[in-house]
Amino acid sequence: MSETVLQVNQLCKSYGKEQVLQNLSFNIEQGQIVALLGRNGAGKTTTIRALMGLIEPNSGDINLLGFSPQAQPIEIRKRIGYLAEDQKMYGWMTVIETIQFVSAFFENWDHNRVRTLLQQFELPPGARVKTLSKGQNIRLGLLLALAHHPQMVILDDPVLGLDPIMRKEFNRDLITHLQAENCTVLYSSHLLYEVEPIADVVMILNEGRILRQAATEELKEDVKRLIFSKGTAPLGSQKMRVIDVEQRAKHLALIVENFQEVKAELDKRRISYEVQDLNLDEIFEAYVSGRSELPYNQPDAVEV
Ligand SMILES: Nc1ncnc2c1ncn2[C@@H]1O[C@H](COP(=O)(O)OP(=O)(O)OP(=O)(O)O)[C@@H](O)[C@H]1O
């Protein structure tokens, strides 16, 4: 059985009156590649900053690799490869000086890995940090996060400033490499179509709450669009967890998050419908902007 490396329990964080994290609870297992998905302002960076011990939550507990980030931030820093959304570095230092400076903080700094990553990321060792492009800056930040063989890697929107070729390389080479080392990875992202092939688990965060955490494949098996011709749509039922409703002239489409159960129920009642698979983009949209509160129990619907 795999080991739980991160446990977050009932985490709350407010800034003034705004409750940014609302009773956030989740676990991550050793070796998982986990994508934290959410719109702008959903609370992804706040969650990650709490995990790194950079902010103090109002309540709740975090156990990361057996340590509390708030009480033992140094222990966390030693073991985690962290890339911040707005990585701060000294502009006057060169790339190589920055690497030497950061290496002093880590016992198991791997100079061979640094050499490989310098080449892979096409970083000019003698260039001053202030002259680097946005993408080069992120690649340097990634190098610094990975060179000490961290037990876990936490990356805040790592691909945001990378061009499409670098993003592809990041996804394919870097994540695959970390996966082969059984390194646990938690990263936040907006680019769902790129997350889909690599993440083992996705967490959908919205307004400081986790709407769903599931294995990527399980999510795609569970969340489906069901299309009913007018007059055959089922009434709301506790068995059917609807996350989005699309009313059209001739039919009604419901996106449900428990397809297997719903299928069994509809088949039992001989209600016919069409099933459509959804990609991660569509699933995410249904969760964060779905209109499940609309009445879909039209007068001519059939009760389930
Ligand atoms: N230091 C702070 N002081 C006040 N409000 C903050 C602070 N940090 C974050 N917030 C607010 O908390 C909310 C969540 O911000 P957060 O940066 O965690 O979101 P995010 O999901 O990472 O967004 P993005 O994708 O845009 O980076 C936002 O409304 C933001 O304005």
Nearest CA to ligand 1 atom 29: 41
Q: Would you place residue 176 in the very low, low, confident or very high pLDDT band (cuts 50, 70, 90)?
A: confident
Q: Tell me which of 110 and 157 has the higher pLDDT.
A: 110
ipTM over 0.90: yes
Q: 275 pLDDT exceeds 80?
A: yes
272 lines ligand 1 (CB under 6 A): no
Do residues 126 and 159 both lie within one domain? yes
Instruction: Say if 81 falls within a structural domain.
Output: yes
Nearest CA to ligand 1 atom 27: 40
Residue-number span of the structural domain to which 270 is assigned: 223-289
With beta carbons less than 8 A apart as the criterion, state whether 95 and 114 touch.
no
Instruction: Say if 294 falls within a structural domain.
Output: no
Domain boundary among 187, 214, 241: 214
41 lines ligand 1 (CB under 6 A): yes
pTM here is 0.88
Residue 301: predicted pLDDT: 46
Do residues 152 and 264 both lie within one domain? no
Domain boundary among 214, 240, 275: 214
Radius of gyration of the CA atoms of the chain, in A: 22
Instruction: Say if 206 falls within a structural domain.
Output: yes
Do residues 157 and 86 both lie within one domain? yes
CA distance readout (Å), 230 to 209, 237, 276, 294: 35, 18, 17, 16
Q: Alpha helices, DSSP H only, in the chain? A: 44-51, 73-79, 95-103, 111-120, 134-146, 164-169, 175-180, 192-195, 216-222, 259-268, 280-289
Instruction: Say if 89 falls within a structural domain.
Output: yes
Q: Tell me which of 231 and 199 has the higher pLDDT.
A: 199
The overall average pLDDT reported for the chain is 87
Instruction: Say if 46 falls within a structural domain.
Output: yes
Instruction: Say if 107 falls within a structural domain.
Output: yes
What dihedral do alpha carbons 193, 6, 53, 56 form, nearest 10°? 100
Q: How many domains does the chain have?
A: 2
Residue 54: predicted pLDDT: 93
**Looking at residues 79-92, what average pLDDT do you find?**
86
Do residues 206 and 279 both lie within one domain? no
Do residues 111 and 193 both lie within one domain? yes
CA distance readout (Å), 128 to 40, 70, 134, 137: 31, 34, 13, 11
42 lines ligand 1 (CB under 6 A): yes
CA distance readout (Å), 239 to 41, 107, 109, 264, 301: 32, 54, 53, 10, 16
Instruction: Say if 303 falls within a structural domain.
Output: no
